[in-house]
Amino acid sequence: MDHTITPLRHETGTDSFTVAGVSLSSRLFIGTAGYPTQAILRDAVEASGAEVVTASIRRVSLQGHGSDTVSMLKGKRFLPNTAGCETARDAIMTAELAREALDTNWIKVEVIGDRETLYPDVAELIEACRHLVDDGFVVLPYCNDDPIVCQRLEDLGCAAVMPMGSLIGSGMGVANPANLALICRRATVPVVVDAGIGTASDAVIAMELGASACLINTAVAKADDPVRMARAMRRAVEAGRDAHCAGRIPRRGRAEPSSPQLGLVGS
């Protein structure tokens, strides 16, 4: 039997995937907010195997504590984000600050439209992404799990789309698997599931549905043992990816024996 993994359309190499021409071997992106200590953050990032780490520019001061975080994670690809922004204008200004301060044109764009649910404001998000793409940024937008919104963001030139699994920080997992599967099936850029992952099984499901990667923060940072959870998430993403590539058996409404019925004793 041939066990060769068949890459998806946007991939290069054995099982790496590409964002804006950059090949990444880890399919886990990890956030840096909410860890008990800087030492635990450092150890969790190492245990996760993640190559891309993200942090809010509004939360992290680029002098003092924030600069310590950037220095501590040297060697990782730093993905600043615009968390907390509520308008396109604010998101654009924050992205420009991040590019100047961190010398990177990668940006995760968040524009929040509702403070209770932290749902994206789609109109403001699209406006911000259009401007930032035109300005030479590599744009990875956090968006709702709407196939049409994801398609429009891809059409604008975003390097990936990052649909929510469920509400930010909720730990509810993948709330709309059918939507996510449709987004993954249609996208020609990487799909990174962002928000809502609560434990390893949630990450497996997201990857089995065809996601290119998962971005996880709260589930690791707020776990009783963040380092161990980071290691679990690393394995979960790998397992879900392998299962997706292997191809699951179809669901049936009846039993089907796995052993042949011929040649049984007494038959």
**Torsion sign (Cα): 185, 118, 111, 74:** negative
Q: Round to whole Å and give the CA distance between 17 and 210.
A: 13
Looking at 74, 76, 108, 222, which residue is catalytic? 108
CA distances from 46 to 13, 72, 75, 110, 258 (A): 23, 11, 11, 26, 42
CA distances from 42 to 21, 96, 221 (A): 27, 27, 11
Q: Which of 122, 156, 127 is nearest to 142 (CA)?
A: 122
Q: What whole-number distance in Å separates Cα of residue 167 and Cα of residue 142?
A: 12
Q: 108 catalytic, yes or no?
A: yes
Strands (E), 196-246: 213-216
Q: What is the phi/psi pair of residue 120, to 5°?
A: -70, 150
Q: How far apart are CA 172 and CA 115, in angstroms?
A: 18
**Which residues are catalytically annotated?**
108
